[in-house]
């Protein structure tokens, strides 16, 4: 199998062509089209379609179907990002004004809904027998439900006590892992019939990738490595993170109470000094190193999955993907 993997970068021109084709069919208002194009122009890593297209290729799927499906997954992801920015009050997304900041909160809600609709309109383009198409559509819809459940939990936890690492991973399994599972299992459902025997392994791969991605995201927030966002942005919003969940396992008594009080200071009253104090607590308690260890553990578990061990092409691609994910944190941790 030559040229095993696309890159996340060279997929975008093909995805853009698909999206433009569907948008040109005229069932969206011109202003809605403008907002869709604005959101997608913000860029992104396009990791989920990269996974979907490459998994489909590994399992001998139709490449055009895989592109349609990968594009659908990316549109669902962007729909969730639009709504996420509203919920978090984030004014920028990848260096440009967030959709709600540019078009208003009301219109951004409409944009998120439009992106969900567009995702399934793109999915319709896949040429599959009706039964398999329906199964994959149902799986996609259940995935959106899991994503929403994860986001509901995150917002709930922002207003309550800090959560444990196990609770954090359960939250992440919905909020982040859902779309990684969709990309992994959905791509194989797309590629071949009779793949039920490996669904569990595919879901496990997606969950581990989601955990790794979110742990990585939480760590780079502390170091100010998120594009267009200052260090501690998630802390300012009071979001649960792997670091906040680990730190409460290290602190006791008044120190623990004081940390929780600091973390739940309202966003508008959270000063840079307070955020720096929280970050210092992370470093002093060693939870940054603990989080990096958890990242590596998730990676090790993924590579111990039977399907990964038995499929050299899959193993090769996942190593390539892990190398890509690790770039931002590699210098922080000598074991990566």
User: What pLDDT was estimated at residue 333?
Assistant: 67
Residues 205 and 318 in one domain: yes
CA distance 199 to 185: 6
In sequence order, the β-bridge partners of residue 96 are 93
Residues 78 and 222 in one domain: no
Residues 209 and 98 in one domain: no
Confidence of residue 139 (pLDDT cuts 50, 70, 90): very high
CA distance 67 to 59: 14
Residues 188 and 109 in one domain: no
Q: Which residue has the tokens 């433009």?
A: 20
pLDDT > 70? residue 335: no
pLDDT > 60? residue 334: no
Measure the CA angle with vertex 251, ends 247 and 257; round to 5°. Answer: 100
Residues 196 and 329 in one domain: yes
Provide mean pLDDT across the span 36-54: 94
Q: Which residue has the tokens 């193993």?
A: 315
pLDDT > 50? residue 1: no
In this structure, is residue 157 part of a structural domain?
no
Terminal CA-CA length for the chain: 28
Residue 79 · residue 39 · CB < 8 Å = no
pLDDT > 50? residue 298: yes
Which of 1-10, 247-256, 266-275 is predicted with the least confidence, judged by mean pLDDT?
Answer: 1-10
Q: Which residue has the tokens 């196990």?
A: 166
Domain boundary among 100, 127, 154: 127
User: What pLDDT was estimated at residue 234?
Assistant: 86
Question: Closest Cα partner for 279 from 231, 336, 331?
Answer: 231
In this structure, is residue 146 part of a structural domain?
no
- The backbone torsions φ and ψ at residue 316, rounded to the nearest 5 degrees and listed phi first, read -60, -45
Query: Residue 75 sits in a domain of what CATH number?
Result: 1.10.600.10
Question: What secondary structure does DSSP assign to 217-238, as a single string?
Answer: HHHHHHTT-STT--TTHHHHHT
Residues 122 and 185 in one domain: no
Counted domains in the chain: 2
In this structure, is residue 132 part of a structural domain?
no
Residues 166 and 123 in one domain: no
More confident residue, 142 or 327: 142
Helix (H, G, I), strand (E, B) or coil at 41: coil
Residues 175 and 272 in one domain: yes
Which of 105-119, 130-144, 147-161, 194-208 is predicted with the least confidence, judged by mean pLDDT?
Answer: 147-161
Provide mean pLDDT across the span 26-48: 93
* Average pLDDT in the chain: 91
In this structure, is residue 64 part of a structural domain?
yes
CA distance 141 to 139: 5
Question: Closest Cα partner for 20 from 34, 6, 7?
Answer: 34
Confidence of residue 68 (pLDDT cuts 50, 70, 90): very high
Residue 187 · residue 51 · CB < 8 Å = yes
State both tokens at 332: 């922080």
State both tokens at 188: 């194989």
Provide mean pLDDT across the span 241-246: 95
Residues 166 and 315 in one domain: yes
CA distance 240 to 261: 14
Q: Which residue has the tokens 């809600």?
A: 109
In this structure, is residue 209 part of a structural domain?
yes
Q: Which domain, by its residues, includes 308?
A: 162-336
Q: Which residue has the tokens 């659908």?
A: 72
In this structure, is residue 149 part of a structural domain?
no
Residue 205 · residue 308 · CB < 8 Å = yes
- The backbone torsions φ and ψ at residue 160, rounded to the nearest 5 degrees and listed phi first, read -135, -165
Domain boundary among 127, 154, 177: 127
Q: How many residues does the chain have?
A: 336
Provide mean pLDDT across the span 290-314: 96
Residues 199 and 312 in one domain: yes
Confidence of residue 27 (pLDDT cuts 50, 70, 90): confident
CA distance 304 to 35: 43
In this structure, is residue 150 part of a structural domain?
no
Confidence of residue 2 (pLDDT cuts 50, 70, 90): very low
pLDDT > 50? residue 39: yes
Residues 226 and 331 in one domain: yes
Residues 89 and 16 in one domain: yes
Greatest mean pLDDT among 64-68, 160-164, 256-260, 331-335: 64-68
- The whole-model pTM stands at 0.93
Domain boundary among 78, 110, 127: 127
- The backbone torsions φ and ψ at residue 171, rounded to the nearest 5 degrees and listed phi first, read -60, -45
In this structure, is residue 136 part of a structural domain?
no
């Amino acid at each position: 199998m030559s040229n095993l993997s696309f890159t996340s970068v060279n997929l975008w021109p093909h995805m853009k062509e698909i999206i433009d084709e569907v948008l040109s069919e005229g069932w969206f208002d011109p202003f809605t089209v403008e907002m869709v194009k604005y959101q997608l122009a913000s860029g992104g890593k396009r990791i989920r379609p990269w996974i979907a297209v490459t998994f489909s290729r590994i399992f001998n799927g139709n490449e055009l179907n895989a592109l349609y499906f990968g594009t659908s997954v990316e549109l669902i992801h962007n729909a969730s990002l639009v709504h996420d920015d509203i919920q978090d009050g984030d004014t920028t997304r990848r260096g440009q004004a967030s959709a709600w900041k540019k078009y208003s909160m009301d219109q951004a809600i409409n944009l998120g809904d439009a992106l969900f609709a567009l995702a399934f309109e793109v999915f319709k383009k896949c040429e599959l027998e009706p039964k398999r198409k329906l199964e994959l559509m149902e799986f996609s819809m259940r995935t959106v439900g899991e994503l929403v459940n994860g986001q509901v939990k995150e917002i709930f936890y922002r207003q309550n006590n800090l959560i444990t690492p196990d609770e954090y991973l359960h939250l992440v399994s919905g909020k982040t892992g859902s779309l990684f599972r969709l990309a992994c299992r959905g791509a194989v459902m797309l590629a071949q019939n009779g793949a039920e025997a490996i669904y569990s392994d595919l879901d496990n791969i997606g969950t581990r990738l989601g955990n790794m991605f979110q742990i990585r995201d939480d760590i780079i927030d502390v170091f100010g490595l998120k594009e267009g966002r200052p260090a501690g942005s998630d802390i300012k919003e009071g979001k649960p993170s792997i670091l906040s969940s680990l730190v409460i396992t290290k602190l006791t008594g008044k120190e623990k109470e004081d940390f929780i009080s600091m973390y739940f200071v309202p966003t508008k009253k959270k000063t840079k000094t307070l955020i720096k104090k929280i970050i210092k607590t992370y470093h002093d308690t060693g939870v940054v190193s603990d989080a990096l260890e958890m990242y590596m553990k998730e990676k090790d578990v993924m590579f111990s999955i039977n399907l990964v061990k038995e499929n050299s092409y899959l193993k090769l691609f996942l190593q390539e993907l892990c190398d890509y994910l690790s770039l931002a944190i590699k210098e922080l941790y000598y074991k990566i």
